[in-house]
Amino acid sequence: PGLRHVSWDDQSDAERSPAARLARGEILVVFPEGASDGDGVVHKGHARFVALALSTGVTIVPAALVPLKARDALPEFRYRLRIGEAIETTRFAGDQLPSDVLEGFILRGLTDLVMTRISQLAGRRYLDSYAGEAKKRQVLGRSIGLSEWREQRAERRTAEEHRRASEAELARLLDEQDAAIMDEAIEAARQQAERAALTEQRARAARRNQAQTPDGDG
């Protein structure tokens, strides 16, 4: 009972690992940004929690702590917890997808999806950069040349293209899975209808045979 701090890197006790706790049915609360810049935006999430969810098949539930306004906040309650729609991960687990897709598009795509949901719940803008990067740039406090600026701009564009490609690939895979599920449902309904029709035909034949059989007492 109660809350316990769990370390990702604690290998001293396998029973206390995040995966072991999930296997026991415990709820694991993760702060995917890892840190906060205090700039009022939701930053890019680290994908480690998604990798854990995929390997264990657990559901991811996005949530956000939203500060209450001064007139609404009680001394002991300064935040409101908003919980979003659950994201099932079992469809991406196991051998259903190639490992390169799992490690690339799906891992990053699901992480970005969770962070987008969190930003919507929190009512804050999503910034596609890790928390702490802005502070690192401020600490450096130096001007850069035109060539370096162009290189950084090209890197940002490449990262944005990869992110969009990941989202598109994730959407395609989801559409394909939905279509496959629909096809399976249609096929199952067709087979059920055929079995029902065959059963009805046999029942009619049995009734006809029974009606045509002379009564032994006659």
Complete DSSP assignment for 137-153: HHHH-----HHHHHHHH
Last residue in a domain, options 141, 157, 192: 141
Given a cut of 70, whether residue 137 has pLDDT beyond it is no
Last residue in a domain, options 82, 117, 141: 141
Domain match, 76 and 148 both: no
Structure token digits, residue 7:
């370390």
Q: Please report the pLDDT score of residue 218 as a whole number.
A: 47
Region for 118 from its dihedrals, namely left if φ exceeds 0, alpha if ψ lies in -120 to 50, beta otherwise: alpha
Given a cut of 70, whether residue 161 has pLDDT beyond it is yes
Q: Please report the pLDDT score of residue 144 as a whole number.
A: 52
Domain match, 21 and 96 both: yes
Is the residue at 123 inside a domain? Answer: yes
Is the residue at 72 inside a domain? Answer: yes
Please, which pLDDT band fits residue 188 given cuts at 50, 70 and 90?
confident
In the chain the beta strands, taken as DSSP E runs, fall at 42-43, 63-67, 79-83, 126-127
The strand pairing partners of 88, in sequence order, are none
If we measure between CA atoms, which residue out of 7, 201, 174, 204 comes closest to residue 101? 174
Last residue in a domain, options 109, 125, 141: 141
User: 10-20 burial, b for 16+ CB within 10 Å, e for fewer?
Assistant: eeeeeeebbee
> Measured in whole angstroms, how far is the alpha carbon of residue 169 from the centre of its chain?
14
Domain match, 34 and 125 both: yes
Mean pLDDT of 42-56: 89
> Measured in whole angstroms, how far is the alpha carbon of residue 160 from the centre of its chain?
20
Q: Tell me the residue range of the domain where 22 lies.
A: 14-141
The total number of structural domains in the chain stands at 2
Structure token digits, residue 28:
């694991």
Q: Please report the pLDDT score of residue 216 as a whole number.
A: 52
Domain match, 166 and 127 both: no
State whether residue 81 is helix, strand or coil: strand
Mean pLDDT of 26-33: 89
**Distance separating alpha carbons of residues 164 and 129, to the nearest angstrom:** 15
In whole angstroms, how large is the CA radius of gyration of the chain? 28
Is the residue at 97 inside a domain? Answer: yes
Is the residue at 1 inside a domain? Answer: no
Please, which pLDDT band fits residue 34 given cuts at 50, 70 and 90?
confident
Domain match, 99 and 39 both: yes
Is the residue at 135 inside a domain? Answer: yes
Domain match, 21 and 125 both: yes
**Distance separating alpha carbons of residues 136 and 120, to the nearest angstrom:** 27
If we measure between CA atoms, which residue out of 72, 71, 48, 68 comes closest to residue 60? 48
User: 168-194 burial, b for 16+ CB within 10 Å, e for fewer?
Assistant: ebbeebeeeeeeeeeeeeeeeeeeeee
